[in-house]
């Protein structure tokens, strides 16, 4: 089994969460936090900056580590996701276009935090966790395997 680190951005500005927007035949429209896999020789912050630039066209500034999640994608893949609070690079427009869209990615979106529970953000349990974070509710850093 291979273990792979993945970094994700939790970037909230003006009451909205930055997400990557995806579409597929079975699920329709759904959202994921921007980010992706860490390459050999990259720090976690370097990977997060690169992945966010590729997926969103936006330059982020990583801040503190907020959450760690594990997931077993397939029988032979174990992914450890590290979610960081992020900010946009100052004086940067909020609407950019991705440089290299992921498979099934159709763009980016800013989801209103107040509507987060109704949005198809995956994993679903992350919606409440992010809302709790915004409301300064204490949550463990290690989330375990959430869906």
CA 147 – CA 134 distance, rounded (Å): 20
Report the sign of the C-alpha dihedral through residues 39, 147, 144, 141, in that order: positive
Q: Write out the residue range of the structural domain in which residue 131 sits.
A: 2-144
Neighbours of 140 (CB within 10 A): 9
The predicted pLDDT at position 47 comes to: 98
Condensed to tens digits (0 to 9), the pLDDT of residues 91-131 reads 877 766 667 777 888 989 999 999 999 999 999 999 999 99
Give the count of domains, the chain: 1
The predicted pLDDT at position 74 comes to: 76
Q: What values do phi and psi take at 42, rounded to 5?
A: -100, 140
pTM of the model: 0.91
CA 61 – CA 53 distance, rounded (Å): 11
The predicted pLDDT at position 146 comes to: 81
CA 46 – CA 49 distance, rounded (Å): 5
The predicted pLDDT at position 49 comes to: 97
CATH code at 112? 3.90.79.10
């Amino acid at each position: 089994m291979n273990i792979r680190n993945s970094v994700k951005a939790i970037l909230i500005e003006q009451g909205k969460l930055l997400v990557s927007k995806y579409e597929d035949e079975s699920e329709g429209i759904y959202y994921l936090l921007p980010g992706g896999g860490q390459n050999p020789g990259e720090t976690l912050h370097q990977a997060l900056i690169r992945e966010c630039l590729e997926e969103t066209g936006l330059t982020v500034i990583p801040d503190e580590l907020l959450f760690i999640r594990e997931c077993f994608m397939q029988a032979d893949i174990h992914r450890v996701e590290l979610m960081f609070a992020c900010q946009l690079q100052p004086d940067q427009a909020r609407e950019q276009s991705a440089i290299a869209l992921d498979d099934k990615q159709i763009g980016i979106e800013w989801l209103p935090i107040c509507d987060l529970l109704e949005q198809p953000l995956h994993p679903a349990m992350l919606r409440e966790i992010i809302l709790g974070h915004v409301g300064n509710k204490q949550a463990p850093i290690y989330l375990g395997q959430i869906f």
